[in-house]
């Protein structure tokens, strides 16, 4: 991924400005780690009367957002692609823990 995006994303995850949620990019007043990335890049979630989405996507990065961030996958997979940031988020890793993983693996994200 792009280094400048990594720096902004990690800072946002650690800022305390985002409530963490699971199962969607944005819901119930919170964001998953990839939803925070969308916001950092300036994308605003749209409400369709049922769920929030970023240009139609509710749970993974849209291709154009993935490309804008310089990421290899829409789930935030790294290295061997056996795990992804979205899985870690939904499995209960905190934003601080996810920020550490991003800092350690950003070149292969």
For 42-93, how does the pLDDT look when each residue is reduced to its tens digit (9 = 90+)? 998 888 877 788 877 888 899 999 999 999 999 999 877 678 999 999 999 9
What are the CA-CA distances from residue 82 to residues 3, 70, 79, 108 (Å)? 23, 19, 8, 13
φ, ψ of residue 84 to 5 degrees: the values are -135, 160
Give the global pTM. 0.93
Q: 40 with 58: CB under 8 angstroms? A: no
Cβ neighbours of 50 (radius 10 Å): 7
Which helix (DSSP H) or strand (DSSP E) does residue 85 occupy? Answer: helix 85-90
Domain boundaries, the chain: 3-108
């Amino acid at each position: 991924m792009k280094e400048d995006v990594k720096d902004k994303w990690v800072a946002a995850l650690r800022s305390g400005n985002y409530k963490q949620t699971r199962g969607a990019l944005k819901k119930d007043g919170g964001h998953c780690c990839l939803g925070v990335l969308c916001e950092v890049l300036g994308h605003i979630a749209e409400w369709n009367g049922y769920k929030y989405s970023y240009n139609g996507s509710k749970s993974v990065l849209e291709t154009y957002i993935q490309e804008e961030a310089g990421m290899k996958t829409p789930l935030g997979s790294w290295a061997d692609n056996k795990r992804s940031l979205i899985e870690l988020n939904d499995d209960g890793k905190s934003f601080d823990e996810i920020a550490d993983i991003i800092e350690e693996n950003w070149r292969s994200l």
